[in-house]
Amino acid sequence: MWMLSFIPDAWFTYAVHGIFIFGLAGYVAGAFASKLPFISTYGGIVKIIGGLLLIAGLVLEGYSYGTSSYRKAAEDYKKQVQVAEEKAKDANLKLSKELKNKIDSTKTNTNENINAIQKYVTDDCKLSNAAVSLHNSSSQNEVPSGTIGTITGTSNIKTPELLNTVTENYGSCHETREKLKAWQDWYKTQKQIYESVK
């Protein structure tokens, strides 16, 4: 019977009614014709064929009646899923635009901070090798080595260079935070949309 699911409901209903009516008419006509002496042989054949069609029509009528609520529910569910998919698509576009605006804003702020560092921090002070080592350990999420106390001397890295690197890292951190928040918003929105489909 699964093959019948590919036939549109209206066609299936009309075909079932047609088989039932044709079978009933054939059975009645065959029964009447079998009483007439000159066509009684043919009337018996028509009666048998009509009876088989009548039985098939009854079975199909029962199937149609029994599955009509299921088919209607499946059709309604399909429509709800299509609506949910459209809502999800719209939500994705909206969230994508919001994320792009936030990331663009973060990049603008980072660039403005770097420009301000270059403009206002003119100190040519160079960092110690210990400060550079501590910064590098922190950037890799590592504990400085046990020999940190023995590191001496001055590096060639100036204070503005360190501030530029730190500012760029903060900018990347803020971008990542915005992406994470956008992903969380996306998940909540998609969950609400798909939970609305019952």
The residue among 60, 127, 17 whose CA lies nearest residue 136 is: 127
Count up the domains in the chain and report the number.
1
The residue among 20, 18, 79 whose CA lies nearest residue 71 is: 79
Domain range for 21 is 2-195
Across the chain, which has 198 residues, the per-10-residue mean pLDDT values are: 62 82 85 78 82 86 77 84 92 94 94 88 82 82 77 85 90 94 94 85
CA distance 11 to 158: 82
pLDDT score recorded for residue 29: 83
The residues, ordered by sequence, that sit 6+ positions from 157 with a Cβ below 8 Å of its Cβ are 126, 127, 132
What are the φ/ψ torsions at residue 154 (nearest 5 degrees)? -115, 140
pLDDT score recorded for residue 185: 93
Q: Which two tokens stand for residue 183?
A: 């992903």
The residue among 163, 172, 97, 91 whose CA lies nearest residue 125 is: 163
pLDDT score recorded for residue 49: 87
Three-class SS of residue 98? helix
CB neighbour burial string for 149-182, b if at least 16 within 10 angstroms, e if fewer = eebeeebebbbbebbbeebeeebeebbeebeeeb
pLDDT score recorded for residue 47: 81
pLDDT score recorded for residue 184: 95
Q: Taking the model in full, what pTM does it have?
A: 0.59
